[in-house]
Amino acid sequence: MEMLDKLTILADAAKYDVACTSCGVDRKAKKGQLGSTTRAGICHSFSADGRCITLLKVLLSNACSYDCAYCVNRRSNDVPRATFSARELAELTIGFYRRNYIEGLFLSSGVLRNPDYTTERMCEAIALLRDEYGFRGYIHAKAIPGTSEELLIRLGVLADRMSINIEFPSAQSLNLLAPGKARQSIIQPMRFVRDGIKANYQDKRLSTVRRTRFAPAGQSTQMIIGASPESDFQILKLSASLYQTFEMRRVFFSAYIPVNTNPLLPPVREVPLLREHRLYQADWLMRFYGFDVTEVIDERHPYLDLQIDPKANWALNHIDEFPIEINRAPYESLLRIPGVGVRGASRIVMARRERRLRFEDLCRLNIILKRARYFITCNGVFAPDVIFDPLHIYEQLSRVTKQNQSNKFLKGQLSLFDASCVNNSDGIGSVSGQEQTAIRSGKFGLLETPAAVEQVASYAGK
């Protein structure tokens, strides 16, 4: 088979894996060897769906002896199959890397014969890259559930990051949709990888010798959103506990895209991209902004509001903690302002040592006030035109979301006081009936939006 065809098949089969990041480990370049990694990672391209391409993301083989309902590679699917040889994969990776196309390799695989056999093949391919080609770039290896521990150790020592997909937010869904994978066969290797990573730090001697470190960039996992009936609450609770118990670096969400028709799977009319986006936002709040999962979402309101982002949502539900005075509030409070990020908050703290900040000064600090303006005061005064009323703010913010949505999540690059912000007095009446009900019910965001209710109902009916 031509290399081009193989690559097409094996990249196509890997494209639903979301974990395309190359960060978490700084490995300096070394004379005479190809490659280095940077802590922040580098994206080298963006595909037409707007997702970043940083690693050569392929399967070693798409021939699989399992039969997971949601997966294109399942045994019972009639698709062309291909398998890379170790040499082919290494040549391809090196060729791409030398041209600055990629940061490294993301290697996953269907289950060839059995998990151990598959993992052995993966180790072989990566070892070739590392040893013979002296490759120092990033390698993310996906562990196959059910692999023996010796092989996991080998894989972890060769790779930078390991991941085992948890696949679904609950054991029931997993049983139903991935009958070949027992919950235990996923949890166990996760625990094993966690302990392996911990051992890096306990044994100082080991960790200083390169290549004996076990998965230095940590482990990550991913779950499919929207193929099973779990609520956002369940999903976020689960991811919080994954961060805690398994010390995950990242939990990825992947909006379900129907690739197979199966009576077990829900009929999806639309890929739940906005929901996925909100879940990621909530995830960020927990990882970088010191939010607890219970602050982001609670059992009584188990779905994130699609109209406004989770941080604004939290702010509206805790409106008595606002407005926040830019010139006095501690760093932790600044971080809680919707629209102010980690960098923005530290810039404020830095700049206000010299002078009392006014709104123009915030603009100089490159802080986007589109959302923040409703929640802050500078020297005790609000931004012009701000009506500090939760109902009103909710309306304004959902209008911002609508604009962004029509821009399809184009990141808000509008400058301070752009036209839409200044003239926010017009067009208030144009709130849809659905939103008005939401607003009148008095609870912001954590409410069951009609769309969410409908979603649940449609699953329950199945």
Partner 1 sequence: MLENERMNGRKGTRPERAYCKIVPGAPEPNAPVPSEKLSSCLSQSSAASEPNAPVASTEALLGDADLIYLYDGSLEGLLSAVFAAFARKEAPVNLAVKHNLQESLLCSSVFIDTDLVAADRVQAGIKRVLGSDTYEAVKQVFLSKNEHKGGVILRYLRHGFKRGRWFYTQLAHPVVSEFTAVQRVVINEAHYLRQFVRFAQLESGLYFARIQPKASVVPLIMDHFADRFNVQPFIIYDARHQLAGIFDTERWWLTDASQIQTPALSAEEDNFQALWQTFFDTITIEERRNPRCQRSFMPKRFWGNLCEQIPPQLRRRHPQTPTQIVQVLNELH
Q: Which stretch binds partner 1 (CB under 8 A): 17-25, 198-206, 231-239, 452-460?
A: 17-25
Residue closest to 399 by CA, chosen among 375, 426, 359 = 426
Question: Smaller CB distance to ligand SF4: residue 222 or 377?
Answer: 222
User: According to CB under 8 A, which residues from 156 to 185 bind partner 1?
Assistant: none
Q: Is 9 helix (H, G, I), strand (E, B) or coil?
A: helix
85 binds partner 1 (CB under 8 A): no
Token pair in block for residue 7: 């690559």
How far apart are alpha carbons 296 and 282 in whole angstroms? 7
Question: Smaller CB distance to partner 1: residue 187 or 273?
Answer: 273
Number of CB atoms found within 10 A of residue 297's CB: 29
64 binds ligand SF4 (CB under 6 A): yes
The entry of partner 1, ligand SF4, none near residue 284 (CB within 5 to 8 angstroms by kind) is partner 1
The entry of ligand SF4, partner 1, none near residue 66 (CB within 5 to 8 angstroms by kind) is ligand SF4
Residue closest to 240 by CA, chosen among 290, 311, 175, 206 = 290
Q: Which of 68, 125, 248, 376 binds ligand SF4 (CB under 6 A)?
A: 68
The entry of partner 1, ligand SF4, none near residue 277 (CB within 5 to 8 angstroms by kind) is none
Question: Smaller CB distance to ligand SF4: residue 225 or 452?
Answer: 225
Residues 6+ apart with CB under 8 A from 220: 19, 21, 161, 163, 248, 249, 250, 251, 252
Q: Which stretch binds ligand SF4 (CB under 6 A): 66-74, 251-259, 284-292, 318-326?
A: 66-74
Does 330 sit behind a cis peptide bond, omega within 30 degrees of 0 on the bond before it? no
Question: Smaller CB distance to ligand SF4: residue 73 or 401?
Answer: 73
Distances (CA, A) of 163 to 140, 158, 184, 364: 8, 13, 15, 41
146 binds partner 1 (CB under 8 A): no
User: According to CB under 8 A, which residues from 305 to 364 bind partner 1?
Assistant: 347, 350-355, 357, 361, 364
Contact, 346 vs 289, CB < 8 A?
no
95 binds partner 1 (CB under 8 A): yes
CA-CA-CA-CA torsion sign (311, 317, 323, 324): negative
Q: Is 108 helix (H, G, I), strand (E, B) or coil?
A: strand
Contact, 173 vs 234, CB < 8 A?
no
Token pair in block for residue 279: 């879940």
Token pair in block for residue 61: 């083989």
Question: Smaller CB distance to ligand SF4: residue 69 or 319?
Answer: 69
> b/e map of 142-177 (b: 16 or more CB within 10 Å)?
bbbbbbeeebbbbbbbbbbbbbbbbbbbbeebbeeb
Window 4-43: contact mask with ligand SF4 (x via CB under 6 A)? ----------------------------------------
User: According to CB under 6 A, which residues from 170 to 199 bind ligand SF4?
Assistant: 180
Contact, 122 vs 61, CB < 8 A?
no
Total residues at the site for partner 1 (CB under 8 A)?
A: 74
71 binds ligand SF4 (CB under 6 A): yes
The entry of partner 1, ligand SF4, none near residue 182 (CB within 5 to 8 angstroms by kind) is none
Question: Smaller CB distance to partner 1: residue 49 or 426?
Answer: 49
Give the shortest CB-186-to-ligand SF4 separation in angstroms: 11
61 binds ligand SF4 (CB under 6 A): no
Taking the mean position of all CA atoms in its chain, how far away is CA 437?
Answer: 31
Q: Which stretch binds ligand SF4 (CB under 6 A): 67-75, 250-258, 364-372, 411-419?
A: 67-75
Return the amino acid letter for 298: D
User: According to CB under 6 A, which residues from 110 to 149 bind ligand SF4?
Assistant: 110-111
Q: Catalog residues that contact ligand SF4 under the rule CB under 6 A.
A: 64, 66, 68, 71, 73-74, 110-111, 180
